Structure 1
Amino acid sequence: MPLDHYVTLGRSGLRVSPFCLGAMTFGEDLGWGSSVQESKAILDRYIELGGNFIDTANLYTKGHSEKIIGDHVGHDRAKRDRLVIATKFSGNMHVGDPNGGGSSRKSIIEACEQSLRRLRTDYIDLYWLHHWDALTPIEETMSTLHELVSSGKVRYIGVSDTPAWKTTQAQMLALFRGWAPFIALQIEYSLLERTVEGELIPMAKELGLGVTPWSPLKGGILSGKYTRENAGTVKLDRSWATGLLADGKVYNLIDELRRIAAELDTTVARAALAWVQSRPAVASTIIGARSLAQFDDNVKALDVQLKPEQTAALDKLTEPVLPFPCGILDLLRMSHAGGTTINGKPSQLLPAFGVSKKGDHY
């Protein structure tokens, strides 16, 4: 599948590439990331391959990420109009200013104007609520976003890193009041982060939100760089990964990915990315890269198609413990379908839920 095999994003007519280019690493202002020259080379290669979906945020590298994108494509109106540029608000760019971030009317409008200037454009294709601001009424946030859409400064809106119940409240409020609704959901999703399958993924399917996973390689843990054999000898890119790799189950997963990658003549990273992109409700997976070589390697994951038995093996190794009431709902669904076992064992709970062993109500 090439990058120009476009898919519609959620319940909208917006067409985007199956891999979105994540620009969080554009700029070295935080002591890591890609140089301006390398960032532009990655942008050029992505566009050359037919990619049209670029994701950034006002907070990424202190605004430099947006500026790199704007300086590179903003001068060419035709090129800019062919791209779907997404950015985010909520992050506070002004330390000490209580209104410098969050989701109030004042902060959203100011953040939008600043992003437009850095991106050198007069509109944002997709404007993300970066994370829920519990101190601002959701009515204020959604009405302000609707005004930005009505003004033409924003084309579509999306939501990131927000609880399912709050996202649903916001979406229903927008639909009932005739405001612009969310069309997409950005969440962390990978073989090592599957708890989103409890509520967020089903919510996205019900509400018509296209899912755009971030960190599909779990911060590089599933890149193929770390193996059981080199444990403790390869420097970790992120300190938090130490605890994760201390769990032997993670190496079991990496071993299985290596086995599958060998069968398919591909890499561990591509196999892990292919798993994410094949999940229900996923529209476009966000892939980041610090170098052109890394981008060229990972984008080839679009050509990888896991076999059913390979997907099943990965699913079994990473099956998440989902929050209440997911277990009960699964039990009821199974019983209504006529099942009498849970995890291969006879169920003693079905009568308690008014269900017979044949799946019929008492």
Structure 2
Amino acid sequence: MPLTLDTYRLLGRSGLRVSPLALGAATFGTEWGWGAGPAEARELFDRYVERGGNFIDTASTYTDGSSERLLGEFAADRRESLVLSTKYTTLRRPGDPNSGGSHRKNLFASVESSLRRLRTDYLDLLHLHVWDSTTPVEEILRGMDDLVRQGKILYVAVSNVPAWQVSRMQAIADLRGWSPLVALQIEYSLIERTGERDLIPMARELGLGVLPFSPLGGGVLTGKYSRADLTAADSPTADGTRRSVTVAGGTLTERNFAIVDAVKEVAAELGRTPAQVGLAWTLRNPAVTAPVVGARTPAQLEDNLGALEVDFDAGQLARLDAASAIGLGIPHDLLAGDFGRTLTRGDLTIETRR
């Protein structure tokens, strides 16, 4: 059934209503060499909001702070109708050890900086951006809860954190009456499905809405790369373009091009673009609340929004799943297989409704 940006979804275990595609503002600003300038970023924002979109994702260090500054300027006259999400933990000042990390000092300082740049007195959603492996979870959770009680953030979430740490954090928050996590941002796409092993099942169980970033695999699923890029002679980081980042990231592989072939085949059958097919596939996962789309141009954004109208038949889904399939690993393959079921159920038939 086709969706629209104003077909809102609840975010995790909260009552917060968000659009089924979030607008990623990492492309707001040109400091990283491949983003959108102020005028083009404004057009991206306006088109998204005019179509009913209300969920916009950024971070304290995206495009060296320009992302938050531009978003704050664009959102100023409609702040209450938007859900603004930002993140902390990435290093804000090279050489300053306490300007990065998950600890309380950086948490409070980063939030204050984000509030100033976004021209607001509260954040709808704050993510811990990258796990630092040093800060105690109690310090993180208590600091987030303090900011919620102060009214500076409304909801808390995490990104790029091991599943066992996330589950531990949620249990501690629940037991101590601190603000629970409501969202999990992870890389997830047809070419990156390893989150299906632990992170996504954990999110469903614990009430976290999944917000996939890079749902098009760094642009690979758009079909703009070819197998010739596998043996490109130029240095992968020489030109500073988004292409060089993708090449350096190792996502241009024969396996991924086989997945792209399947995506293109389905797209041709549906009269859609490969990007729309790739995004629509993530939207079908019941754990996913809203993929984060990072368009650089208005044309790219319009193409991405077309994913909301894509509907697959069972055969097309089966082909996409088969092309991108991964092993779940221990113990999941055992538990999901016939042998594991026999061990726990014998020849009994047990109906589950979850």
Deviation of residue 234 (structure 1)?
Answer: 12
Aligned to 1:284: 290
The gaps in structure 1 that reach 5 residues or longer are 339-352
Structure with the larger RCO, 1 or 2 (CA within 8 Å, 6+ apart): 2
Q: How many angstroms does 1:355 deviate by?
A: 7.1
Q: Residue 21 of structure 1: SS of its match in structure 2?
A: strand
Helix, strand or coil: the match of 2:293?
A: strand
- Cα deviation, 1:267-303, whole Å, max 9, x if unaligned, reads 1110011001111300111001111111111111100
Gapped runs of 5+ residues in structure 2?
235-241, 350-354
- Specify which of 322, 327, 344 is matched with residue 316 of structure 1: 322
TM score, norm. by length of structure 2: 0.91
Q: Which residue is 2:252 aligned to?
A: 245
Aligned to 1:148: 147
Amino acid at match of 2:149: S
Evaluate the alpha carbon distance shift between residue 311 and residue 234 of structure 1 in structure 2; reply closer, same or farther with a 3 A threshold: farther
Identity of aligned residues (%): 47
- In the other structure, the counterpart of 1:126 is 125
The Cα shift of 1:17 comes to: 0.2
Per-residue CA distance 1:55-74 (angstroms, 9 max, x = gap): 00001011110000011222
User: Using the alignment, how far apart are the partners of 2:108 and 2:252 within structure 1?
Assistant: 42
Query: Which SS does the other structure have where 1:86 is aligned?
Result: strand
How far did residue 335 of structure 1 move? Answer: 4.5
- In the alignment, residue 260 of structure 1 is paired with which amino acid? V
How far off its partner does 1:253 sit? 1.6
- What aligned pairs does 1:1-362 form with structure 2 within 5 A after superposition? 1-74=3-76, 76=77, 79-227=78-226, 237-241=243-247, 243-247=250-254, 249-331=255-337, 334-335=338-339, 358=347
**C-alpha displacement at 1:323, in angstroms?**
3.2
Structure 1 pair 124–239 and aligned structure 2 pair: CA distance change class (3 A): closer
Secondary structure at the aligned position of 2:133 is classed as: coil
Q: What code does the residue aligned with 1:92 have?
A: L
TM-score by length of 1: 0.89
2:71 aligns to what SS in structure 1?
helix
Could you tell me which amino acid in structure 1 is paired with residue 252 of structure 2? L
Larger radius of gyration: 1
Distance 2:233 2:222 in 1: 13
The whole-number CA distance in structure 2 between the counterparts of 1:229 and 1:62 is 33
Per-residue CA deviations over 1:106-143 (Å, capped at 9, x if unaligned) read 11000000000000000000000101121111100000
